[in-house]
Amino acid sequence: MSVKTPPLQPAADPGPDPFEAPQRPLCYVTDEEPSVRHFIALNMLGAGINTIEFEDRASFLKAFEDRRPDVVFMGVALDASDAMETLDTLARLNFRGAVQLMSKRAAVVERVKSSGEQKKLRMLPVLKKPLETATILKAIDDLHLGMPKPLAARIFLDDALANDWIEFWLEPKIDLRRKRLAGIEIYARARHPEFGVLMPSAFMPGALEASIDALAEKSVIEAIRLSQTFASMGFSMPVSLNMPISALAKLPISDLVRAHHVNPRSWPGIVVDIPEDQIIHDIAAASELSGRLTSCNVRMSIDNFAGGYSLLSRATELPFFEIKLSGEVADCATSKTNASVCRSVIEFARRFGCFTAGTGLQKSSDVATLVGMGCDFGQGPLMGQPMPKDRFMLLLRQRTHTPDARGTPASAAALQPA
């Protein structure tokens, strides 16, 4: 089993960001808590909105000299005087964007909101902390900002491949204890010239086996290239992708690695997520395949794990990189049944030197519960939604080069939920 990926180190300054896109909607976020600012930025960038974070009122207001944002998210402390003064300044600047207030105390923030309305500012319904992804996304949906939602269209996978409509979106994977970026997972999307961005549900049902195999190969090549891109930026972390075990077994993995990477042992490798039901019912065959891939620095994980613990617990070896708990099971803070399954799987995996990850995480209480159980990684809306490659790179560079309140590069600082 490979050693855990060490904490990420910031890369050298690459100069002007080639992924900057001024034409996108812009959000300013000011709050005394770095975790709140980071959480909002993750959600905004995932929705196609550029975000700039500010830790104090002075730097926040000074930025208005360069560009006016479309929306501002502003934390309100117990002493609301600072927020009141900020709204006074925005009114004098004749700011026409939306103002989203956030606070743990409803009475205080409602008073501030009323003050902003009297000044003819565009005040949105207040958000109560702790924040949730759904409430942030609803706020920007109501403003008609960000990317349009994918249409419920249907196309054929072989058409998407033949016309080069397939692209890959990236989702962050977070080390739950260190609260740092630990990896990336890629997901296939189809960008149709008429229908826009389409989810897998639009092109995977009924796909031919040959087309699924072709998509699997394309995914592996993309994962290898991405790992090289991150390495060139100073980040060493594995890239994950998912596919059926039948497609993985047929792929010429060693040839692909040699063709797209000089030395398979000089990079962090890739992780292939295989659905639980395709591994649990033939663990011996899956283990044999996992062993063959190790020499290429390609590892397997058990994806979407939910109800197969009784079968898995009979295994005498577990040659997989990790077990990924399904979003349904990882919802464990208020469910004793789910908590029991999570604890059993995490303890079982640890005995075999295997990592565990919670997926589909939406609540900070579930994250805290999983951390207490010893879960290694987390993914889901709370950590950041899947987003286009350029937006992910923009976020990564902002985290790398923008200091937080302590003067630490944000990529090395906590990427924690609000």
CA distance 148 to 203: 19
pLDDT tens for the chain, 418 residues: list them. 333 333 333 333 333 343 344 468 999 999 999 888 988 988 888 788 889 999 888 999 999 999 999 999 999 987 888 999 999 999 999 999 999 999 988 888 999 999 999 999 999 999 998 888 888 988 998 998 877 777 678 999 999 999 999 999 999 999 999 989 999 999 999 999 988 899 999 999 999 999 999 999 999 999 999 988 888 888 888 999 999 999 999 999 989 988 887 565 567 889 999 999 898 878 888 989 998 998 888 999 999 998 777 777 777 778 899 999 999 999 999 999 999 999 999 999 999 999 999 999 988 899 999 999 999 999 998 888 899 998 888 878 766 654 333 333 333 233 333 3
Q: Which domains does the chain have, with CATH numbers?
A: 26-142 (3.40.50.2300), 157-401 (3.20.20.450)
Neighbours of 126 (CB within 10 A): 16
Integer CA distances (angstroms), 173 to 170, 239, 384, in order = 10, 9, 9
Q: Which residue has the tokens 């060139």?
A: 232
Burial of 235 (0-12, 13-18, 19+ CB in 10 A): buried
Angle at which helices 364-373 and 336-351 pack, to 10 degrees? 40
